[in-house]
Amino acid sequence: MNETSNIRKVIVASSVGTMIEWYDFYIFGMLAKTISTQFFPEGNATAALLSTLAIFAAGFIVRPFGALVFGRLGDLIGRKYTFLLTLVLMGGSTFLIGLVPSYKAIGLAAPLLVLLLRLVQGLALGGEYGGAATYVAEHSPAARRGYYTSWIQTTATLGLFVALGVIMLVKLNMSDASFNAEWGGWRYPFWISILLVAVSVYIRLKMSESPLFSKLKKEGKTSVNPLKESFRNRTNFKMVLLALFGAVMGQGVIWYTGQFYAQNFLETKCNIEFEQSRTIMLWAIAFATPFFLLFGWLSDKIGRKWIMMIGMFLGIVTYRPIFSTFLNNTNVEAWKAESPVANSELWSATNEKTNPETSVVRASRRVTLENGSSFVEERTDGPLFNGNAPSVYKDKHLSGGVYWKFIGLVFLLIFYVTMVYGPIAAFLVEMFPTKIRYTSMSLPYHIGNGVFGGLVPFIGLLLTTTYPADPLVGLWYPIGVATLCLIIGVIYLNNKIDKEVND
């Protein structure tokens, strides 16, 4: 078998599995609303506590913990079997979430089972990435390490793409009632996972162990205690801290802001309709994904550091103008001033009191403008559409020009993600020696992405509540963390490409 064909198989085996793990992890978050009505009903304090733990603990605590558990295992028994195990755990728990009966059927056992399975998902995700990145890097020639490992870097975004696509496909092919029913369509994405995982396990089983790890094992030089050697060896621990604060912390917030905060912002702050907000993300991801490979390739030529730093810098200086454009271009009052109403269709109106002077009217109508944009206008008091009551605008449908402009802006946000994320696997692999590589690179990666990245919505909400006058105040958290990381990265990091990782 020639070298190119071999590395291609290694990349496919690693990337497909990692993409499936991301898919599995995302569908839970994307279906959180339906899942909460099925398993975590409102008004039950215990169910609410379990729901909180399922959402927060899986990302913040269990992912870094998974990095330690599986990182250690990967440095002790090998990369291949460890990331096979994480794949089976992730796929199995995802499939089982789709089989758990609802709270109505089995009571508190339902949220407890879902929490347990969600924690297994977090644990598995914590172990997967380090294994896949290490496995590919240890097969790669030094001059192409950035390019080959950048395939692994596409998987988080492609996992999101597949998750968005599968959920949209299922949802568009049935009514809302069928989708949200107890055994309805929302379970299909979970069941599909088992097929994907079976294929991926089959591919991975046929692969051999990483040549560098095999050599180390043959020579009896593997680590006896990877955790101790990673974190109690001063020289290595110093590099773990530098990887976290000088690279991964900023990468985590740029990644999260581009892929998740943007989508949430379009849906909840701009109130763009479900289908358009999803397709904006899908197009932007499709256009941006090749840039992971471009920046991985470029990092082999010019080094990893400056590509990542420029990506962070661009995020820092353009986040507020970009998100401000999202808000301004979805301002319905401005739309109405620019384009006359073409059609206005009353959907519903209810009069809750009989006295005409004090009557409370709830009314909604779909308004279509001549430029093709439309929106639902809702009022909850005052006489019907006489201009006295404040309106709430929902389900906004963008006109063609604005729609493509938004795709372009989200593309830019994901383009920054490709800059910081494309070269980072090679960067982390080259920082640590083979015998403790899996452990040493996994922990900072999952703290950076799981904790710093995962906190973007929470800190955003905290800032918005504290300073309600500024709708963009939530962006100061990713901007602040990325700035701190940029300063540390620029001053302390080397722009080296380590030719020799056979250590």
List residues near other proteins by CB under 8 A: 49, 52-53, 56-57, 60-61, 64, 233, 235-239, 241-242, 244-245, 430-435, 437, 447, 451, 455, 458, 461-462, 465, 484, 487-488, 491-494, 496, 498, 500-501, 503
Least distance to other proteins, CB of residue 235, Å: 5
Least distance to other proteins, CB of residue 417, Å: 22
Sheet holding 341-351, edge to edge: 341-351, 361-369, 374-379, 392-397
Least distance to other proteins, CB of residue 49, Å: 6
The nearer residue to other proteins, 353 or 499, going by C-beta atoms, is 499
| 343/333 Cα distance (integer angstroms) | 16
DSSP label at residue 141: -
Least distance to other proteins, CB of residue 116, Å: 17
- Are 254 and 482 in contact by the 8 Å Cβ rule? The answer is yes
Which amino acid would we find at residue 292?
Answer: F
- Are 489 and 250 in contact by the 8 Å Cβ rule? The answer is yes
Kind plus residue range of the DSSP H or E element containing 292? helix 290-302
Count the helix, strand and coil residues of the chain and give each as a percent rounded to the nearest 5. Answer: 75, 5, 20
| 382/376 Cα distance (integer angstroms) | 18
The nearer residue to other proteins, 231 or 297, going by C-beta atoms, is 231
Least distance to other proteins, CB of residue 157, Å: 25
Least distance to other proteins, CB of residue 6, Å: 24
Q: Is 485 exposed, middle or buried, given 0-12, 13-18 or 19+ CB atoms closer than 10 A?
A: buried
The nearer residue to other proteins, 411 or 427, going by C-beta atoms, is 427
Least distance to other proteins, CB of residue 61, Å: 6
DSSP codes, 338-402: HS-EEEEEEEEEEE--S-TTT--EEEEEEEEETTS-EEEEEE-SSSTTSS-SPPEEEEEE--HHH
The nearer residue to other proteins, 49 or 105, going by C-beta atoms, is 49
The nearer residue to other proteins, 20 or 429, going by C-beta atoms, is 429
Three-state DSSP at 457 gives helix
The nearer residue to other proteins, 54 or 280, going by C-beta atoms, is 54
Least distance to other proteins, CB of residue 360, Å: 23
The nearer residue to other proteins, 335 or 452, going by C-beta atoms, is 452
The nearer residue to other proteins, 272 or 447, going by C-beta atoms, is 447
**Residue 377: CB partners within 8 Å, gap ≥ 6?**
332, 364, 365, 366, 367, 391, 392, 393
Which amino acid would we find at residue 295?
Answer: F
Least distance to other proteins, CB of residue 36, Å: 13
Q: First CA to last CA across the chain, in angstroms? A: 26
The nearer residue to other proteins, 165 or 433, going by C-beta atoms, is 433
Least distance to other proteins, CB of residue 493, Å: 8
Q: Is 173 exposed, middle or buried, given 0-12, 13-18 or 19+ CB atoms closer than 10 A?
A: exposed
Q: Is 400 exposed, middle or buried, given 0-12, 13-18 or 19+ CB atoms closer than 10 A?
A: exposed
The nearer residue to other proteins, 195 or 461, going by C-beta atoms, is 461
The nearer residue to other proteins, 353 or 496, going by C-beta atoms, is 496
Least distance to other proteins, CB of residue 401, Å: 36
| 100/114 Cα distance (integer angstroms) | 7
Rg (CA), the chain: 24
The nearer residue to other proteins, 45 or 469, going by C-beta atoms, is 45
Q: Is 42 exposed, middle or buried, given 0-12, 13-18 or 19+ CB atoms closer than 10 A?
A: exposed
Least distance to other proteins, CB of residue 433, Å: 5
3-state secondary structure 313-351: HHHHHHHHHHHHHHHHCCCHHHHHHHCCEEEEEEEEEEE
